[in-house]
Structure 1
Amino acid sequence: MNAPAHPVTFKATPRGADRYQYLTQTDAGTPAGELMRRYWQPVALIDSLPQGAAPQPVRILGEDLILFRDDDGRVGLIDRKCAHRCTDLALGRIEDGGIRCPYHGWLFDVEGRCLSQPAEASATAKDRIRMKSYPLHEAAGAFWAYMGPGEPPLFPNYPALVGGSEHCYTTRWFGDCNWLQASEGNIDPVHTSYLHQLELSSDDMKARWGVFSNQARPELAIEDTRFGVRLYTQRKIDDERSSLRVTNFVMPNACAVGGFEGYLGEGGLTMLWDVPIDDRHHWRWEFIFHRSGELDKAALEKQYQSEKQEGDRMWRTWENLYSQDRESMKGKAYLGLGECFSVHDIAITQSQGTIHEQTNEHLSSSDIAIVRARRMLDEAAQAVAQGSDPRGVVRSEKDNNFRDMVVATGEIRCSESKEVWCAAYAASDDLFRPQRSAT
Structure 2
Amino acid sequence: METPTQPIVVKPRPRGADRYQYLTQTNAGTPAGELLRRYWQPVATSDSLPKDGAPQPIRIMGEDLVLFRDDKGKVGLIDRKCAHRCTDLALGRIEDGGIRCPYHGWLFDVNGRCLDQPAEASPTAKDRIRMKSYPIHEAGGAFWAYMGPGEAPLFPNYPALAGGDEFRYTTRWFGDCNWMQASEGNIDPVHTSYLHQLELTSSDMQARWGVFANQARPELAVEDTRFGVRLYTLRKIDGTDRSSIRITNFVMPNACAVGGFEGYLGEGGLTMLWDVPIDDEHHWRWEFIFHRSGQLDKAALAKQYESEKAEGDRMRRDKRDLYSQDRDSMKREAYLGLGECFSVHDIAITQSQGTIHDQTGEHLSSSDIAIMRARRMLDEGAKDVAEGRDPRGVVRAESENQFTDLVVVTGEIESTESKEMFCARYASDPTLFALNNKGVTE
Q: Common fold, TM-score beyond 0.5?
A: yes
Correspondences of 1:338-417 after superposition (within 5 Å) = 338-417=339-418
The answer to whether structure 1 residue 156 and structure 2 residue 156 are counterparts is: yes
**C-alpha separation between the residues in 2 aligned to 1:66 and 1:277?**
14
**C-alpha separation between the residues in 2 aligned to 1:358 and 1:215?**
26
The size of the alignment, in residue pairs, is: 434
Secondary structure of the 1:376 match is helix
Aligned equivalent of 1:85: 85
Correspondences of 1:115-130 after superposition (within 5 Å) = 115-130=115-130
Q: TM-score, normalised by structure 2?
A: 0.95
5+ long unaligned stretches in structure 1: none
Secondary structure of the 1:362 match is coil
5+ long unaligned stretches in structure 2: none
Aligned equivalent of 2:208: 208
Aligned equivalent of 2:275: 274
Instruction: Flag the 1:108–1:435 CA change in 2: closer, same or farther, 3 A.
Output: farther
After superposition, what is the alpha-carbon deviation per residue over 1:163-194, rounded to whole angstroms, capped at 9, x for unaligned? 21110100000000000000000000000000
Instruction: Flag the 1:245–1:5 CA change in 2: closer, same or farther, 3 A.
Output: farther
After superposition, what is the alpha-carbon deviation per residue over 1:372-406, rounded to whole angstroms, capped at 9, x for unaligned? 00000000000000000000000000000100000
1:5 touches 1:151 (CA, 8 Å); kept in 2? no
Percent identical: 81
> Counterpart of 2:315 in structure 1: which amino acid?
M
> Counterpart of 1:23 in structure 2: which amino acid?
L
Secondary structure of the 1:181 match is helix
- How far residue 90 of structure 1 moved from its aligned partner, in angstroms, is 0.8
Instruction: Flag the 1:183–1:263 CA change in 2: closer, same or farther, 3 A.
Output: same
Aligned equivalent of 2:146: 146
**C-alpha separation between the residues in 2 aligned to 1:125 and 1:207?**
68
Aligned equivalent of 2:110: 110
1:39 touches 1:153 (CA, 8 Å); kept in 2? yes
1:106 touches 1:115 (CA, 8 Å); kept in 2? yes
**Which has the larger displacement, 204-213 or 30-39?**
204-213
- How far residue 12 of structure 1 moved from its aligned partner, in angstroms, is 2.0
Q: TM-score, normalised by structure 1?
A: 0.96
**Superposition RMSD on alpha carbons, in Å?**
1.7
**C-alpha separation between the residues in 2 aligned to 1:410 and 1:369?**
20
**C-alpha separation between the residues in 2 aligned to 1:202 and 1:127?**
69
**C-alpha separation between the residues in 2 aligned to 1:171 and 1:226?**
27
Correspondences of 1:262-301 after superposition (within 5 Å) = 262-301=263-302
Aligned equivalent of 1:42: 42
**C-alpha separation between the residues in 1 aligned to 2:217 and 2:431?**
31
> Counterpart of 2:230 in structure 1: which amino acid?
R
After superposition, what is the alpha-carbon deviation per residue over 1:47-79, rounded to whole angstroms, capped at 9, x for unaligned? 000011111000001000000111111111000
2:207 touches 2:411 (CA, 8 Å); kept in 1? no
Instruction: Flag the 1:68–1:427 CA change in 2: closer, same or farther, 3 A.
Output: same
The answer to whether structure 1 residue 424 and structure 2 residue 425 are counterparts is: yes
The answer to whether structure 1 residue 332 and structure 2 residue 345 are counterparts is: no
> Counterpart of 1:35 in structure 2: which amino acid?
L
- How far residue 201 of structure 1 moved from its aligned partner, in angstroms, is 4.4
After superposition, what is the alpha-carbon deviation per residue over 1:284-324, rounded to whole angstroms, capped at 9, x for unaligned? 00000000010011000000000000000011011000000
Q: Which has the higher contact order (CA 8 A, sep 6+)?
A: 1
**Which has the larger displacement, 352-361 or 158-167?**
158-167
1:174 touches 1:314 (CA, 8 Å); kept in 2? yes
Aligned equivalent of 1:253: 254
> Counterpart of 1:400 in structure 2: which amino acid?
N
**C-alpha separation between the residues in 1 aligned to 2:261 and 2:432?**
13
2:112 touches 2:131 (CA, 8 Å); kept in 1? yes
**C-alpha separation between the residues in 2 aligned to 1:229 and 1:279?**
24
Aligned equivalent of 2:53: 53
